[in-house]
Amino acid sequence: MAEITSTQSKHFLSDKVEHFTESVIREMTRQAMLYNAVNLAQGFPDFPAPVEIKQAAQEAVAADVNQYAITWGAKNLRNAIARQMGVWQGISVDPEKDITVCCGSTEAMISTLLAVCNTGDEVVIFEPFYENYGPDSVLSGAKPKFVKLRPPTEAPGEWTFDEKELRKAFHRHTKAIILNTPNNPTGKVFTRAELELIRDLCLEFDVLAITDEIYEHILYDCTEHISMASLDGMRDRTVTINGMSKTYSVTGWRVGWAVAPEKITNAIRKVHDFLTVGAPAPLQEAGAAALSLPPEYYTKLAEGYRTRRDRLVPALATAGFRCFQPRGAYYVMTDISAFGFADDVAFTKHLIKEVGVAAVPGSSFYRDPRDGARQVRFAFCKKPETLDEAARRLSKLTFRKA
Ligand SMILES: Cc1ncc(COP(=O)(O)O)c(C=O)c1O
């Protein structure tokens, strides 16, 4: 049989995929499995999901909710999302017209970008950024325009951005800004003043805000989550993206949603329908049950993550990492300068193979890998014993001369 050579097969590929690589985060999970390392790379919990929602999923399957749901989402789930957005953020949402339920917030984001972007549009993204946003922009034909979030110079401190740099990123080709608060990978929770500044730029330059609020309930140190859509003037120009993965510890269920004004929702629904038809029907019913959990559930969730943060961060600091204290989400970004490795990738490989702990190289969160060459991200959505085992292994980490 004739062999297909790389030059022959190249013309089968889209130019778009040339512009990005496979997910580094998911690659780190594969490496962790290969070397039996404690996986603090990918952000999935290693503890059970709430009993109530697992039961709701089982009941839905048993009741034969096993065929396609309405393409833009099961009515029960959309009603629950609309109700909770009112309760949590005071945002009024029409469940019939404003919501598209997708296969995770990942699909909600790409469906939104495909629905709103034309070739040549620009999308402003803060960096370091959740790695999907770069490829998402490329796939939708838009050009990402990155604005730096800078780490605190002293502890404790916050990641900040320069107002002038942000303003410079906005101009007549800017279609949207992607905002992620609470933020992965930095743990930053954007303040009201910062959001108002972004709001003012969106209004001045007629720009859409696409906000990924998937860590909405994971907050520490009395920080408050503010939805961009709740700010004056933003309801009609915001797409709010959220999902079940993080709040209910079910990253494998693939249920997320986009909430937007009717016209934008109609466009998102069209893209979503042809991309995936719909999210898993029984799990959407379980989603409605999840969104009906009492307020104590969310208090406990945040408190559980605070204790995990306060278990891992001191262990990392003792091992020699400089930690940027997260205020939300379940990651800690660290500075690895003290270890004297050539870069973050060399360090992460050493960490997986020789120490037995997997983390994500900082460069995967930046357009220019050099910007993240001194950073590594750890996820702490793990059982106490997993974090303790990681701490035990990290204590063996030794310093190297540069
Ligand atoms: C900021 C952010 N958005 C989206 C996702 C993916 O969410 P989902 O499982 O709903 O697709 C993640 C997962 O790590 C994330 O960190």
Q: How far is CA 378 from the centre of its chain?
A: 14
For atom 14 of ligand 1, the residue with the nearest CA is 43
Pairing type for strands 357-358 and 38-39 reads parallel
**What is the number of alpha carbons within 13 Å of residue 19 lying toward its C-beta?**
17
Long-range CB pairs of 121-125 (<8 Å, 24+ gap) are 121/173, 121/174, 121/175, 121/176, 122/171, 122/173, 122/174, 122/175, 123/174, 123/175, 123/176, 123/177, 123/178, 124/166, 124/169, 124/170, 124/174, 124/176, 124/177, 124/178, 124/207, 125/177, 125/178
CA of 249 to the centre of ligand 1 (A): 12
CA of 381 to the centre of ligand 1 (A): 13
Q: Which residue has the tokens 């003043």?
A: 193
The answer to whether 249 touches 218, Cβ cutoff 8 Å, is: no
Cα 147 to Cα 320: distance, rounded to the nearest angstrom: 29
What pLDDT does 402 receive?
A: 47
Over the stretch 254-274, which tens digit does the pLDDT of each residue have? 999 999 999 999 999 999 999
Reply yes or no on whether the pLDDT at 81 is more than 70: yes
Q: Which residue has the tokens 């915001």?
A: 238
More confident residue, 21 or 293: 293
What H or E segment, with its residue span, contains residue 212? strand 208-212
Q: Which residue has the tokens 């020699």?
A: 320
What average pLDDT does the segment 186-203 reach?
A: 98
What pLDDT does 2 receive?
A: 53
Q: What is the mean pLDDT of the chain?
A: 94
In a mutational test of the pocket of ligand 1, which residue from 130, 215, 248 has the highest number of ligand atoms less than 8 Å from its CB? 130
Reply yes or no on whether the pLDDT at 282 is more than 50: yes
DSSP state of 342: S
Reply yes or no on whether the pLDDT at 9 is more than 80: no
CA of 349 to the centre of ligand 1 (A): 24
What pLDDT does 194 receive?
A: 98
**251 pocket-lining for ligand 1 (C-beta < 6 Å):** yes
Q: Give one DSSP letter per residue of 104-169, joined into a string.
A: HHHHHHHHHHHHH--TT-EEEEEES--TTHHHHHHHTT-EEEEEE-B--SSSS---B--HHHHHHH
Cα 24 to Cα 131: distance, rounded to the nearest angstrom: 8
CA of 339 to the centre of ligand 1 (A): 30
This prediction's pTM: 0.94
Reply yes or no on whether the pLDDT at 330 is more than 50: yes
3 state DSSP class of 234? coil
Burial 128-141 (b: 16+ CB within 10 A, else e): bbbbbbbbbbbbbe
Cα 174 to Cα 227: distance, rounded to the nearest angstrom: 21
More confident residue, 8 or 387: 387
Which range is least confidently modeled, 27-31, 157-161, 264-268?
A: 27-31
Residue type, 199: R
CA of 104 to the centre of ligand 1 (A): 8
What average pLDDT does the segment 191-205 reach?
A: 98
What pLDDT does 16 receive?
A: 79
DSSP state of 70: P
For atom 16 of ligand 1, the residue with the nearest CA is 184
What pLDDT does 5 receive?
A: 56
Return the percentage of the chain with pLDDT > 70, whole number.
96
Reply yes or no on whether the pLDDT at 3 is more than 90: no
User: Helices then strands (H, E): number in the chain?
Assistant: 15, 13
